[in-house]
């Protein structure tokens, strides 16, 4: 086993969708509900969404539907959170936790020198609903995370989380002491451009060969000790 504590603290930021959980259609249905509620138009199609923030997805979706001036994002974000709450039981039954994710979170949560949160394109409200639905929120400090409603440009979210973590823990976090864990090329770009190390997990639909640029690629999260050793090796 790895040493239980290192001299320096590490900020671990988890992507949510396809890294920790899968919504398996509930996410799209909730988006459709919210989009129709605020725009008055049924959802006919969506842009590619992997690795993008919710404000970016909303703007692109409105453009695809010929809506030049969509309602404010805040209105959509509120409607989206409401839609997820309505479908929370459906999410619990139809969605699921990625293999090994709960165990990995629990393992890292035991360590005093590792601070865990999320970096996600989801809004904070939706992130909380998703994580609470599957009981994963207890392992994470969501107040130091970074969310799509903080900044529509995903790489900028790295510094948002670093700043919040620094304020809470009185310790500066930089590229060497920040590790993002995600499943897509978008997560890799976020880390490289934003100032973090990146562990990519090839369990969310992206093959390991497509995760070029990651500091470390893992097949899945089922080996918590290997994940911990990987985090240790990056700082």
Question: How large is the average pLDDT for residues 57-71?
Answer: 98
For residues 203 and 219, what is the distance between their CA atoms, to the nearest angstrom? 6
| pTM for this model (two decimals) | 0.96
* 72-90 per-position pLDDT tens digit: 999 999 999 999 999 999 9
pLDDT band at 1; cut points 50, 70, 90: very low
* 200-214 per-position pLDDT tens digit: 999 988 999 999 999
pLDDT band at 103; cut points 50, 70, 90: very high
Give the model's pLDDT for residue 204: 83
Examine the fold and report which residue of 93, 121, 152 is the final residue of a domain before the chain moves on: 93
152 and 217 fall within a common domain: yes
Are 71 and 38 a contacting pair, CB within 8 Å? Answer: yes
Range of the domain at 196: 10-23+96-233
Contacts with 89 (C-beta within 8 Å, 6 or more apart), sequence order: none
Contacts with 83 (C-beta within 8 Å, 6 or more apart), sequence order: 29, 30, 31, 33, 34, 37
Number of domains in the chain: 2
For residues 14 and 86, what is the distance between their CA atoms, to the nearest angstrom? 25
* 88-98 per-position pLDDT tens digit: 999 999 999 99
Domain assignment present for residue 186? The answer is yes
Are 11 and 161 a contacting pair, CB within 8 Å? Answer: yes
User: Mean pLDDT in the chain?
Assistant: 96
* 18-34 per-position pLDDT tens digit: 999 999 999 999 999 99
Straight-line distance from the first to the last Cα atom of the chain, in angstroms, rounded to the nearest whole number = 17
111 and 227 fall within a common domain: yes
């Amino acid at each position: 086993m790895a040493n239980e504590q290192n001299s320096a603290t590490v900020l671990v930021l988890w992507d949510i969708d396809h890294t920790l959980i899968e919504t398996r259609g509930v996410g799209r249905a909730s988006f459709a509900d919210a989009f129709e509620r605020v725009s008055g138009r049924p959802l006919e199609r969506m842009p590619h969404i992997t690795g993008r923030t919710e404000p970016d997805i909303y703007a692109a979706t409105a453009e695809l539907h010929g809506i030049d001036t969509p309602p404010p994002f805040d209105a959509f974000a509120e409607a989206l959170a409401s839609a997820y709450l309505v479908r929370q039981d459906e999410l619990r039954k139809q969605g699921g936790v990625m293999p090994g994710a709960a165990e990995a979170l629990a393992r890292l949560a035991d360590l005093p020198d590792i601070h865990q949160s999320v970096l996600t394109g989801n809004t904070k409200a939706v992130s909380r609903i998703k994580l609470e639905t599957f009981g994963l929120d207890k392992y994470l400090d969501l107040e130091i995370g970074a969310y799509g409603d903080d900044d529509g440009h995903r790489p900028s979210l790295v510094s948002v989380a670093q700043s919040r973590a620094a304020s809470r823990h009185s310790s500066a976090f930089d590229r060497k002491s920040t590790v993002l864990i995600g499943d897509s090329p978008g997560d890799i770009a976020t880390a490289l451009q934003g100032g973090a190390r990146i562990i990519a997990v090839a369990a969310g639909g992206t093959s390991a060969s497509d995760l070029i640029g990651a500091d470390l690629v893992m097949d899945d999260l089922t080996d918590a000790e290997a994940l911990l050793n990987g985090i240790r090796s990056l700082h």
